[in-house]
Structure 1
Amino acid sequence: MFDRDQRPEELASFAAELEGLGADGGPRVDDLWVVEDLAWAGSVASATLALASTERLRVGIGISPAPLRNPALLAMELATLARVFPGRLVAGVGHGASEWMAQVGAASPTKLALLEETIEAVRGLLTGATTSVAGRTVRIDGVTLVHPPAVAPPVVAGVVRPRSLELSGRVADGTVMAEGQGPRAVEAALNAIAKGRASVSADGPSGTSGLSRPSAHELIIFTHLYVDDDPARVATATAPVVAEYTQWLGIPPQDVFLAAGEATTATARIRSLWEAGADTVVLRPVGDDPLGQVRAALAELGEPARSR
């Protein structure tokens, strides 16, 4: 992940250097994820910079808040990127942080409906279909993109709570899970997603747009990374993260999941997310040397998993 606190002018070189890791035949990074948090940076602009600075990396948007985005305009932006950089974009959409949405007058009393209808509308438009949505919150009347992508990028839902995870299973191509959550949360999320997918016929329409249920569903999880052999430095570096996610997730500090510690410990925790069912693990490095943290993790991930 290109962290929100990194300066936008650093993104192009960060992306290019990240793509070069593993060129010697070792493990390599497959994805680069950019964020959209209020007052930091816009995700579409960041994704454009990252895509233009690389040739191979898949670039994920994690996430565009549905309350801030008109679905037709979002689909137009995504379609442009997907045409110019085919097969390299993942579009994340979520509820947005409630307090931030309230700050800009975008808070919605119908968060679930807004997200579901936004995802349905964006997915429909990206397929090139003439799309109409007459939902509780989204209104689109017979819109067809003039320049749809040849292959629509996956639209994934960045969500946390069980009802939102079920929503993601119903209408999205994948789910993005937030930092701080470990293997048990992955297993619970997969159960909720499966419930949502089971509620929609594989061949029949889902939601308001008449789209069929996505044929596959990718589970993506973000996790903080900090590799250091000194437990005291690890504790000091990760203390703000633990405090933030204790409050945000509403869980005890000891339950906040981190890929942190010496290299074998940090990477064992990354592997545990895969083993629990995550398809993609996105590392969010902590500290002022993010690429150094990624290199340390990749070096250890290149070694066979140790018995434990």
Structure 2
Amino acid sequence: MRRLGAIFTPYSPPEALRDAARAADGSGVPELWLWEDCFRESAFATAAAVLAWTTRLRVGIGVAPMPLRNVAATAMEIATLERLFPGRLIPGVGHGVQSWMGQIGARAASPLTLMREYVPALTSLLAGEEVTTSGRYVALDGVRLDWPPAQRPAIVAAGEGPKTVRLTGEVADGTVLPAGSNPDRVARTLATALEGRQAAGRDDAHQLIVFVSAGFGGDAARAQLADDLTRGNGEVDPALLIAGDPADVARTIEPFFAAGATSVILQPREDETALDEFMAGVGEVARLIGAG
């Protein structure tokens, strides 16, 4: 089944989260995704709050920076939330923005090595295994969670460059692509991730989650999104002009699914203040495309 969701970006203050989450839940949005951008809002604190405030909403973390968090601490956070709210958390990790990681003294000289060590250790811990490893970045000595989840959640990892994307296919259960990726790039990313998966001898399904900036409304919403795309990219890629009424948005995200995306997560504009209306629009798109 194709999946759809919305993003609560940390450009909105934490106190706006409750209303946005309840609007998403009430509007039938299947998933609400959260970011952990330095130095704005914590991913796991906000995820816990959203899960407690809502009844059926799945919550994605897209993504928690690996250099910021010891892998055992991340495993504890995920396991606790998964036991409290079974099946509703979608945990994601990534390299982190390197300049931010440098600000806190946690910048990894080899982000690829960190991911190669971190994601398998995290996966094993969440599977209830005892883990001993001594790598460049991840060192665990007989670590086992006392309260692992009853069922290990899928771990997704962010990737943009081909080396990272290939590695997400090797070690993670899915790849997260940030906003700004058109359907052609989605197709190339999926092919690269599957190359890594094949090289690792894995034949299970691989998720591909893509964030897509969107605007709901008439010509004004379309013009505002076009301005954003121009500022960010210097031009407007027609494939990324996802704006209009819910039927327009449903139609224009279809190529992302056709390119291989398993999840399309709609991202509001940075200065969007009417988050309840945005969530209502996403909920209607979900109904139109039969997303769950």
Distance 1:129 1:298 in 2: 39
Aligned to 1:271: 254
CA distance in 2, matches of 1:162, 1:54: 37
Instruction: Note the C-alpha offset of 1:153.
Output: 1.5
Runs of 5+ unmatched residues, structure 1: 22-27, 203-212, 247-251
Q: Which amino acid counterpart does residue 86 of structure 2 have in structure 1?
A: P
> 1:157-196 maps to which residues of 2 (within 5 A)?
157-196=157-196
Asked whether the equivalents of residues 90 and 153 of structure 1 are also in contact (C-alpha less than 8 Å), the reply is yes
User: How has the CA–CA distance of structure 1 residues 145 and 188 changed in structure 2, closer, same or farther, with 3 Å as cutoff?
Assistant: same
Q: How many residues align?
A: 281
| C-alpha contact (below 8 Å) 1:222/1:281 kept by paired residues | yes
Q: What is the TM-score normalised by the length of structure 2?
A: 0.89
Deviations 1:60-106 (A, max 9, x none): 10111111110011101111101111111111100111111112111
Structure 2 equivalent of residue 206 of structure 1: none
- The yes-or-no answer on 1:18 pairing with 2:6 is no
Alignment partners' CA distance in 2, 1:102 and 1:127: 32
Measure the CA separation in 1 of the matches of 2:280 and 2:197: 37
Deviation sequence 1:3-51 (CA, Å, 0-9, x none): 2112212212321221111xxxxxx321111110001101010111111
CA RMSD of the aligned region, Å?
Answer: 2.0
2:113 is matched by which residue type in structure 1?
A
Q: Using the TM superposition, give the Cα deviation of residue 142 of structure 1 relative to its aligned residue in structure 2, in angstroms.
A: 1.4
Is 2:38 the counterpart of 1:38?
A: yes
| Distance in 1 separating the partners of 2:148 and 2:283 | 37
Alpha-carbon contact 1:89-1:154 (below 8 Å) kept = no
Match of 2:236 among 241, 245, 254: 254
Q: 1:97 & 1:259 partners in 2: Cα distance?
A: 26
Distance 1:134-1:184 versus aligned 2 partners, 3 A rule: same
What letter is aligned with 2:265?
Answer: V
- Greater shift, 131-140 or 260-269, is seen at 260-269
Task: Please give the residue correspondences for 1:21-100 in structure 2 after superposition, counting only pairs within 5 Å.
Answer: 21=27, 28-100=28-100
Tell me how far apart the structure 2 counterparts of residues 270 and 115 of structure 1 sit (CA, whole Å): 30
Q: 1:225 Cα deviation (Å)?
A: 1.1
Moved over 3 A (4+): 261-265, 296-305
Partner of 1:24: none
Q: Given the alignment of the two structures, is residue 216 of structure 1 paired with residue 216 of structure 2, yes or no?
A: no
Distance in 2, matches of 1:186 and 1:304, equals: 19
**Structure 2 equivalent of residue 141 of structure 1:** 141
Deviations, residues 111-145 of structure 1 (Å, cap 9, x unaligned): 10101211111111001100122222211121011
The Cα shift of 1:263 comes to 4.5
Partner residue in 2 for 1:4: 10
Per-residue deviation, residues 153-194 of structure 1 (Å, max 9, x unmatched): 211101111111110100101111100111101100110011
Matched, 1:234 2:240: no
Does residue 292 of structure 1 match 2:280? Answer: no
List gaps (5 residues or longer) in structure 2: 1-6
Shift of 1:304: 7.6
Supply the distance in 2 between the matched residues of 1:17 and 1:297 (Cα, whole angstroms): 10
- Distance change (3 Å), C-alpha of 1:126 and 1:224: same
Query: Distance in 2 between the 1:19 and 1:110 partners?
Result: 39
Separation in 2 of the partners of 1:124 and 1:181? Answer: 31
What's the CA shift for 1:262? 5.0
CA distance in 1, matches of 2:44, 2:231: 29
Match of 2:4 in 1: none
Cα drift, residue 242 of structure 1: 4.2
> Residue 241 of structure 1: CA displacement?
4.8
CA gap of 1:128–1:237, structure 2 versus 1, over 3 A, is: same
Asked if the contact 2:250/2:288 (under 8 Å) is kept, the reply is no
Task: Give the whole-Å Cα distance in 2 for the aligned partners of 1:18 and 1:301.
Answer: 11
Higher relative contact order (CA 8 A, sep 6+): 2
Query: 2 CA distance for matches of 1:297 and 1:80?
Result: 29
- TM-score, normalized by length of structure 1? 0.85
In the alignment, the residues of structure 2 paired with residue 217 and residue 298 of structure 1 have an alpha-carbon distance, to the nearest angstrom, of 25
Aligned mates of 1:168, 1:135 — CA distance in 2:
18
